Amino acid sequence: MMTAKHDALKRNLTGGTCFKCDPDWERHGNKCYRFLTEKLTWDQSRSRCEELGGHLVKIDSKDEQCFLDWTLIDKMDEAEDKFWIGLTDQVTEDEWLWVDGSKLDESLAFWNYGEPDNWREKNPDGEDCARMGEKGGAPDLKCWRDQDCNKPQKGVCEKTPSMGRVKFNCE
């Protein structure tokens, strides 16, 4: 009886497909994430993600926001240690677009209280790029802030996982 179940399981698993991420990337759901530790401008972070085969993260769900919020807690060394995401209003003020050109769905916006505020004290052009992260976690997941795009920050890249083959060997 056990051999029959083992053979059936082996037939179901052998040759199947699975999602896999490259080394240094973390999988969550149907995406792979890489957390850049080097502090770069928003444009440099965007370019670095593209060099790695991905793009700055586009947050599509509350589940994804929750995953990133909790993951970043362990990757932040200090309170101001934030991460660029792929959201900007550089083209038109107050029209927030993701790096793929799609508009921000306001029902999936996780702006911190009072944000975005386009603060201009340090840069007359204001704050046109979005970053995220709260040391200790964010209340209600609201941890996005707009920031001067030239301020060096860490970044979050994402890409689609590659397809692998499930191999089942009983040795």
Closest by CA to 85, choosing from 68, 70, 108, is: 68
pLDDT of residue 21: 95
- 122 band by pLDDT with thresholds 50, 70 and 90: confident
Segment 112-123 shows an average pLDDT of 87
pLDDT at 136: 87
State the pairing for strand pair 153-159/31-40: antiparallel
Total Cβ atoms within 10 A of residue 83: 24
Q: What is the pLDDT of residues 43-95, one digit of tens each?
A: 999 999 999 999 999 999 999 999 999 999 999 999 889 999 999 999 999 99
Q: Domain locations in the chain? A: 18-157
Please name the residues in contact with 53: beta carbons below 8 A apart, sequence gap of 6 or more. Answer: 22, 159
pLDDT (tens digit per residue) in 5-37: 545 444 444 456 788 999 999 999 999 999 999
CATH class of domain segment(s) 18-157: alpha beta
User: Looking at residue 120, what is its pLDDT?
Assistant: 77
